[in-house]
A and B are shown apart, each in its own frame.
Chain A
């Protein structure tokens, strides 16, 4: 050691440090090796875009499209998206935004490209009016997202389990079983007494979401927040009414208690452990994915109890950090065109938010082979143009989480309905204040 030139060693040490720093600091390049522009699309669940990408790439040979997050859970997707936006790096060139989170993202519109600057104003007529407005900031100056799908509402059911329980299996007859949620519960009790080994429904939280959005849509058009962004969980009769109906469902012992989107829930699909699930149009793709090809033809779709409603639906946006904004906007326009809506619907079932697409025979006459050739276009499309949207407030997602968890504690027998209602109110207030 003594004879080793020390400054050389020092230089080596310095160089090593330098290499480490460079290595840790460098990021990837998004130019594909062949000179093509790669556009990354971030989604969750099933958007059904694969065919459309191929079509777009064929028409635009300089573009390569990569989709990330397919089949994923919204709960895992939204924090990632937020981190990417906050870090200014990592987000795709096109990102999906679910309606419940739209208000939060809209509050900071500078994270996204203003689509009005890219001539999107001409496209207004291509969307249901409220869907268009959801993507627009409060001052109407910035449009951060173009609509993809709307929820629509139906009740999916397993015909094999209905048959086993001695219930009708024809979708018209099944729809006639439950004009109201009370009738739905009564049917559930009949199903339960037949001891098929399956529960009547998957999870009370899913049913609650459906009921609360339906009730609120039919009443004043808001649920957790009023349109002035005041938290009204405790005073909005629509929320309480939905809560009480859900409690009746739980008390009747109809829920399989499979926490929605959990591994148990997926297993329960595979093992045919429940007979019905409230299904917005996008849920049909989820059911098909979870229950697998072996259950093809064993599912069918009936009318939802009560009157219509909407749950979910998304927009596509282009983050400001995208290096290929122009190309990304073009892709968004294509995917949200009537043609894009129809393609997605055919692939995975999300219901178009474009009136032109809703009127297209490709939708109105569409049937879904997986769901016993149910006329999905007719079932979901019918109410879509008249459906009344529900306003989502600033901390909608956090508040919804609290109320859902309160439902779940009752379902699991941890709290009684009164305690849980208090929990829901207190925790929602806490969440809204954070």
Chain B
């Protein structure tokens, strides 16, 4: 279709006063607008379920809006100014970033290592590869509940095992750092296999002759991994980082279900592991029902994700610029 458009002789305006034939007009309209029609479903759906809620949330965030009340009052930026000096909000931002770092860094390293193992000659290779994805297809809620029990203070299996080796039980749910670690474990358990498969796919695209050449030059497996595999995986690694960022900053189900009982939405008595999305929920819904304030939290979360995404893009650009020539050189050398 695009080719046809390009091939059409340029500047052939219809002579004035002569109506184009009906068929010609139709086909022109068709050629011009149907591409938009084809992609319309996505944008229509996005507009309804993405853009409109986003805009509406912003509108709500400018109001003092009791969820049950019938007459919200416009307050301008007041929700935002209050939020910027709200210690509990920044506490939740730190929690979110902390959990994100603790979960993502080991997760991607483990995934890389796992992918490297799976890339070797193994018996039942497909079976192993499928197996690493199993945690990902289990329901998040089930995972969170099981881990919530494993990390129980008194009846949890982890503390029981720590006790066996003579370590005192850890208050996994009411110690800030410990709860971050516990929630990160949950995230990692679920997502490491998924990332490993993505890495594995990318690894298989690396020509084998590179490794053969390196082996002839006397490079051992570790050396091959760090100087061939990792550099060539850079774009994939960046992709995984971005995906993990988006998921990590919106973390809700795992920390929410990790806690149980009254006001679990606080993520511990002193908000030890309350993430931004949990803080949003706490304000927009129970126990505050302050829809305006909750919406303001949602928008700041959006801004934070945008900032982190921008940082990611900058890093990609820098890494991309550095990686490109190096890759080319190695490829050239191997050939």
A residues neighboring B (CB under 8 Å): 1, 6-7, 9-10, 13-14, 16-17, 20-21, 73, 75, 78-79, 82-83, 85-86, 104-105, 107-108, 110-111, 205, 257-265, 267-268, 271, 273, 395, 397-398, 401, 404-405, 408-409, 412, 414-415, 431, 434
Provide a sorted-by-A list of 28 A–B residue pairs whose CB atoms are within 8 angstroms. A10-B38, A13-B37, A13-B40, A14-B37, A75-B262, A75-B286, A82-B68, A83-B67, A86-B67, A86-B68, A104-B289, A107-B68, A108-B70, A110-B70, A258-B154, A261-B261, A264-B152, A264-B153, A264-B155, A264-B260, A268-B154, A271-B155, A395-B288, A412-B174, A414-B174, A415-B270, A431-B287, A434-B293
> Is the pair B67, A82 in contact by a Cβ cutoff of 8 Å?
yes
Expressed in whole angstroms, the Cα–Cα distance for A17 and B70 within the complex equals 34
Which of B30, B44, B262 has a CB less than 8 Å from the CB of A260? B262
Residues on the A chain within 8 Å of B290, using CB: 434
Q: A82 — which chain B residues lie within 8 A by C-beta?
A: 67-68, 285-286, 289
Q: Which residues of A contact B289 (CB under 8 A)?
A: 82, 104
Is A20 touching B45 in the complex (CB atoms < 8 A)? yes
The residue of chain B having its C-beta at the shortest distance from the C-beta of A408 within the complex is B269
What distance in Å separates the Cβ of B179 from its nearest Cβ neighbour in chain A?
12
**Contact, CB under 8 Å: A261 / B37:** no
- A6, A73, A104, A108: the one contacting B34 at CB < 8 Å is A6
Encode contact with A along B241-275: 1 for CB under 8 Å, 0 otherwise: 00000000000000000011111111001100000
Of B148, B261, B285, the contact of A79 (CB 8 Å cutoff): B285
Q: Which residues of B contact A (CB under 8 A)?
A: 1, 26, 30-31, 34, 37-38, 40-41, 44-45, 48, 66-70, 145, 148-149, 152-155, 171, 173-174, 259-266, 269-270, 283, 285-291, 293
Q: Which residue of A lies closest to B281 (CB)?
A: A79
Give me 17 other A-B pairs in contact (C-beta within 8 A), A83-B285, A263-B260, A263-B261 excluded.
Answer: A6-B31, A10-B37, A13-B37, A21-B44, A21-B48, A85-B68, A86-B291, A110-B70, A260-B261, A261-B261, A263-B148, A263-B149, A264-B153, A271-B155, A405-B263, A412-B171, A414-B270
A259 touches B261 (CB 8 A): yes
> B66 — which chain A residues lie within 8 A by C-beta?
108
Cross-interface CB contact of A405 among B37, B152, B270, cutoff 8 Å: B270
Expressed in whole angstroms, the Cα–Cα distance for A73 and B1 within the complex equals 59
A264 and B68 contacting across the interface, CB-CB below 8 Å: no
Q: How far is the CA of A73 from the CA of B285 in the complex (A)?
A: 15
How far in angstroms is the closest Cβ of chain B from A137?
14
The CA-CA distance from A79 to B288 in the complex, in Å, is 9
Contact of A75 with B264 at beta-carbon distance under 8 Å, contacts A10-B38, A16-B41, A405-B270 already known: yes
| Min CB gap B259→A, angstroms | 8
Nearest A-chain residue to B155, judged by Cβ: A267
By the criterion CB–CB under 8 Å, are A73 and B262 in contact? yes
Q: Is A20 a contact of B286 with CB atoms below 8 Å?
A: no
Find out whether the CB atom of A13 lies under 8 angstroms from the CB atom of B41.
yes
| B151 → chain A closest CB, angstroms | 11
Q: With A264-B155, A434-B293 known to touch, is A259 a contact of B262 (CB < 8 Å)?
A: yes
Would you call A267 and B152 a contact (CB within 8 A)? Answer: yes
State in angstroms the CA–CA spacing of A14 and B36 once bound together. 11
Which of B154, B266, B293 has the most chain A CB within a 10 Å cutoff? B154
Set of chain A residues within 8 Å of B261, measured between Cβ atoms = 73, 75, 259-265
From residue B34, how far is it (CB to closest CB) to chain A in Å? 5
Nearest Cβ distance between residue B185 and chain A, in whole angstroms? 17
Give A76 Cβ to nearest chain B Cβ, in Å: 8
How many whole Å from B161's CB to the nearest CB in chain A? 17
**A431 and B286 alpha carbons, distance in the complex (Å):** 11
**Contact status A434-B283, CB under 8 Å:** yes
Asked if A108 meets B149 with Cβ closer than 8 Å, knowing A262-B260, A263-B261, A397-B287, the reply is no
In the complex, are the beta carbons of B174 and A78 less than 8 A apart? no
Most B CB within 10 A of own CB, among A261, A268, A401, A404: A401
Q: Are A405 and B266 in contact (CB under 8 A)?
A: yes
CA A83 to CA B145, docked complex, whole Å: 24
State which of A20, A86, A105, A408 has its C-beta within 8 Å of the C-beta of B41.
A20
Q: Looking at the assembled complex, report how far the CB atom of A98 sits from the nearest CB atom of chain B, in whole angstroms.
A: 12
Which one of A262, A265, A409 has the highest number of Cβ atoms from chain B below 10 Å of its Cβ? A262
- Tell me whether A401 and B37 are in contact (CB under 8 A): no
B173 (CB) vs chain A CBs: closest residue? A259
Alpha-carbon separation in the docked complex, A82 to B263 (Å): 16
A73, A271, A404, A409: the one within 8 Å of B270 (CB): A409
* B146 smallest CB distance to A (angstroms): 11
Check B152 against A414 for contact (C-beta < 8 Å): no
Question: Distance in Å from the Cβ of A84 to the closest Cβ of chain B?
Answer: 11
Which residues of the partner chain B approach A398 to less than 8 Å between Cβ atoms? Answer: 287-288
Closest to B272 in A: A414
Determine the chain A residues whose CB is within 8 A of the CB of B260 once the complex forms.
Answer: 259, 261-264
Contacts A14-B37, A412-B269 hold; do A397 and B286 have CB atoms under 8 A apart?
yes
- For the complex formed, measure the closest distance between the CB of B191 and the CB atoms of chain A, giving whole angstroms: 24
Contact A111/B34 with A13-B40, A261-B260 known, Cβ cut-off 8 Å: no
**How many Å lie between the Cα of A257 and that of B290 in the bound state?**
31
A15, chain B: closest CB distance, angstroms:
10
Q: Which residues of B contact A20 (CB under 8 A)?
A: 41, 45
Task: Give me the 10 closest cross-chain CB pairs, A-B, nearest first.
Answer: A262-B261, A79-B286, A398-B287, A261-B261, A79-B285, A408-B269, A259-B261, A262-B260, A17-B41, A108-B68
Contacts of A105 in B (CB 8 A): 68
Chain B residues with Cβ below 8 Å from A263 are: 145, 148-149, 152, 260-261
Residues of B within 8 A of A85 (CB): 68
Q: With A111-B68, A264-B154, A265-B261 known to touch, is A78 a contact of B41 (CB < 8 Å)?
A: no
* Closest partner residue, chain B, to A79 (CB atom): B286
How far is the CB of B282 from the nearest CB of chain A, in Å? 9
Please, which residues of chain A bring their CB within 8 A of the CB of B26?
7
A126 to B161, CA, bound (A): 57
Does the CB pair B69–A108 fall under 8 Å? yes
Residues of A within 8 A of B285 (CB): 79, 82-83
Taking a contact as CB atoms under 8 Å apart, the answer to whether A405 and B269 are in contact is: yes
Residues of chain B contacted by A271 (CB below 8 angstroms): 155
| Complex Cα spacing A414 to B269, Å | 9
Complex Cα distance, B67 from A9, in Å, reads: 44
Residue of B31, B262, B266, B286 with most chain A CB atoms under a 10 A cut-off: B262
Bound CA–CA A205/B269 (angstroms): 11
> A104 to B68, Cβ gap below 8 A?
yes
Query: B327: shortest Cβ distance to chain A, in Å?
Result: 35
How many angstroms from the CA of A409 to the CA of B173 in the assembled complex? 12
Min distance, Cβ B47 to any Cβ of chain A, angstroms: 11
A258–B293 Cα gap in the complex (Å)?
32
Residues of chain B within 8 A (CB-CB) of A258 are 154
Residues in B whose Cβ lies below 8 Å from that of A397: 286-287
Instruction: Using CB atoms, name the residue of chain B closest to A270.
Output: B155
